[in-house]
Structure 1
Amino acid sequence: MSAPHILATGRCLPERVVTNEDLSRTVDTNDEWVFSRTGIHQRHFCTSETGLDLAVSAARQAMDRAGVTAAEVGVCLVGTFTPDHASPSTACLLQRELGLEEDTVCFDLNAACAGFLYGLKTAHALLCDAPRPCALVVGAEVISRVMDHTDRNTCVLFGDGAGAAIIRRDESRSWHTVFGTRGDPDSIRVQGPGPVPSSIHMDGKAVFRFAVEVVEQSIRQLLEREGLASVNDLDLVVCHQANARIIDFVAKRLGAREGLFFKNMDRYGNTSAASIPIALDELTEAGLLRPGMRIVTVGFGGGLTWAGALLRW
């Protein structure tokens, strides 16, 4: 048995901050309306920055904090549904920018908001036969580029950003994971390249029902596999930061103690694949994630896809 040891994390947010009141100038909304329904006050939008720019900054921060050089990275994966190009992948361009070796395994994954956890699982598996001991896993999104900024039901939800983690395969550790797919082209859909402009279509009620179902189910499965009786036996739960209502609903259903479920969507909105690594980096920087802590993290989103992991920090 082995598990990924997260050595360090990093994050990058675009400079431009867009508040709910800023959005009220272009759509029929206000801070109270948005916050009461989502828990979001503001988000970051790119102006001149690209997804690659965000990924490079977050990755370099993680590598510097881990004390890991380019010569030690054998795998480079990027979770994103908003790449700068259909090809080449963001991961390939990241390889060039970071000076990673040519035999580094590099590719993008699109598992929407569960992308970071899919990347973590994949990187851990690839390290079994990788040319070097460390992997770089990044979630990077520029969702503002594919949104309809006149649709108040979606434009208030999302933000841009990137988060990164440097991991090493550790044979002395163990972890548990759950993954799921429920093919559904209607609940969440991003219009791709073509004659129709890019936009995000989402059935909010269907997504809410799906999210609370699979997040609760995933956490219960992970607790059972770890032999834990209660969610309160964990030190921390870090869910994809889509909506405060989803997290609060699941926490209540599980009887979680106050503060067990981390939330930061008030400052960033839903950054999709970047949300979990951004949250982990914030927690680490604040000294709230310490070695030996037992945490659960769960992602869910378009596909529909979901993923969960229980691991020791």
Structure 2
Amino acid sequence: MSIVRSQVVGVGSYLPERVLTNDDLAKTVDTSDAWIVKRTGIKQRHIAADGELTSDLGREAALRAMSAAQVKPQDVDLIVLATTTPDNTFPATAARIQSQLGVTKGPAFDVQAVCSGFVFGLAMADNMLRLGQATTALVIGAEIYSRILDWNDRGTCVLFGDGAGAAVLRAVDGAGSNADRGILSTHIYTDGTRYDQLYVDGGPATNASSGHVRMQGQEVFRFAVNSMASSVRTGLEANGLTLKDINWLIPHQANSRIIAKVGETLDVPDEKVIVTVQNHANTSAATIPLALTHGFERQLFKPGDLLALTAMGGGFSWGSAILRW
């Protein structure tokens, strides 16, 4: 039976020019390069310039994805932006990006699922393309976490950075089998009982401030490994696939130890796991499209390869997307 699939036809990413190394951080907070690398695998992060906005990062990533896909603004009829750090409380930052790109058709809206945002955004766009509500979608993850960090808290400030990544999805006809190219399925979840284990202590309704990231690190670590691995298994089972069918595992780039543990839990060899966290730290909703772009630019993905994307973030939110390149 023929069905509509959402095929990834282009990806792109953008990192701000300024690089903040572990040694740079050690000058202002009680930490060291060795301490950070041992516990997180992170070597550096990028920091947005003064006056540089989330929309600026997202726009640049989108332009690069559109160039890779050979898509023009008039072709795009849906923009989904995953972000925790919007330019303004409202309107949606996606609306600003839509205007800057010269896109004039369809909706543009933000999705707030923290580090799982890009997977949630893929789910939203995929469903809309399947239903015929759009034909070509931009899914963007863009964050400026440097502005919601407590730079005196070494438990969080060493972990995050700024960046953006994007993917262009196009509706194509598929045969309805797991051999189809494109997104085979998405699976997204939330457990609000864990709201206070990873959150920002501010907001318009709370104290009229942007606040700072607060995290119970051990709880997040344990939940991240289990939830990410479980959601990948669910996605594979839904499509009649097994762990051995995975060509590339692309997990949320939060911490090298979490990434390694997820790969180990799923029995995916290290050489099939995309790891980029060392270069940009945790960029929340941007990490998966950054990793996708890393693999694409290095021609790691071959047509027909099976990619398993998975993420976990505040909320707690988590999920997976199973797609064939």
TM-score by length of 2: 0.92
Determine whether 1:62 maps to 2:65. Answer: yes
Quick one: structure 1 residues 195 and 105, their matched pair in 2 at CA, closer, same or farther if it must change by over 3 Å? Answer: closer
Matched to 2:238, the amino acid is: R
CA contact (8 A) 1:2 1:175 kept: no
> Which residue matches 1:189?
199
Alignment of 1:21-40 (within 5 A): 21-40=23-42
Corresponding residue for 1:85? 88
- Counterpart position of 2:304: 292
**2-structure distance, mates of 1:290, 1:180:** 30
Please give the residue correspondences for 1:77-156 in structure 2 after superposition, counting only pairs within 5 Å: 77-101=80-104, 103-127=105-129, 128-130=131-133, 133-156=135-158
Number of matched pairs: 310
Q: Which segment drifts farther, 40-49 or 166-175?
A: 166-175
Letter in 2 for 1:119: G
Match of 1:159 in 2: 161
Please, which runs of 5 or more residues in structure 1 have no aligned partner?
A: none
**Kindly, what percent of the aligned residue pairs are identical?**
41
Q: Aligned to 1:14, what secondary structure does the other structure show?
A: coil
TM-score for both structures, normalised by structure 1: 0.95
- 1:63·1:166 contact (CA, 8 Å) conserved in 2? yes
Shift of 1:2: 3.1
> In the aligned structure 2, how far is the partner of 1:87 from the partner of 1:166?
25
1: distance between equivalents of 2:210 and 2:286?
Answer: 24
Match of 1:136, SS state, is: strand
Structure 2 unaligned regions, length at least 5 = 175-179
Q: Give the match for residue 225 of structure 1.
A: 238
Q: Does 1:239 align with 2:241?
A: no
Aligned match of 2:268 in 252, 256, 262? 256
Are 1:175 and 2:175 counterparts?
Answer: no
Contact 2:23/2:33 (<8 A) preserved: yes
Q: Distance in 1 between matches of 2:135 and 2:66?
A: 13
For residues 161 and 291 of structure 1, what CA distance do their matches in structure 2 show?
27
Distance change (3 Å), C-alpha of 1:57 and 1:196: closer
CA contact (8 A) 2:10 2:169 kept: yes
Across the aligned residues of Structure 1 and Structure 2, the Cα RMSD in angstroms comes to: 1.4
Distance 1:195 1:71, change over 3 A: closer
**Contact persistence 2:7–2:169 (CA under 8 A):** yes
CA distance in 1 between counterparts of 2:269 and 2:244 reads: 6
User: Using a 3 Å threshold, how does the CA distance of structure 1 residues 195 and 169 change in structure 2: closer, same or farther?
Assistant: closer
Give the match for residue 304 of structure 1.
316
Shift of 1:95: 1.1
Give secondary structure in 1 for the equivalent of 2:199.
strand
Paired with 1:163 and 1:16, the residues of 2 have a C-alpha distance of: 17
Report the alpha carbon displacement of residue 224 of structure 1 after superposing the two structures with TM.
2.0
Q: Match of 1:129, SS?
A: coil
Q: 1:125 to 1:233 in 2, by over 3 A?
A: closer
| Pair 1:199 & 2:208 matched | no
Residue equivalent to 2:18: 16
Aligned mates of 2:273, 2:293 — CA distance in 1:
15
Relative distance call for 1:192 and 1:129 in structure 2 (3 A) is farther
Match of 1:210 among 223, 235, 238: 223
Distance 2:317 2:70 in 1: 33
Partner SS for 1:119: helix
Q: CA deviation at 1:198?
A: 1.6
SS in 2 for 1:29: coil
User: Per-residue deviation at 1:196?
Assistant: 5.8
Distance 1:71 1:197, change over 3 A: closer
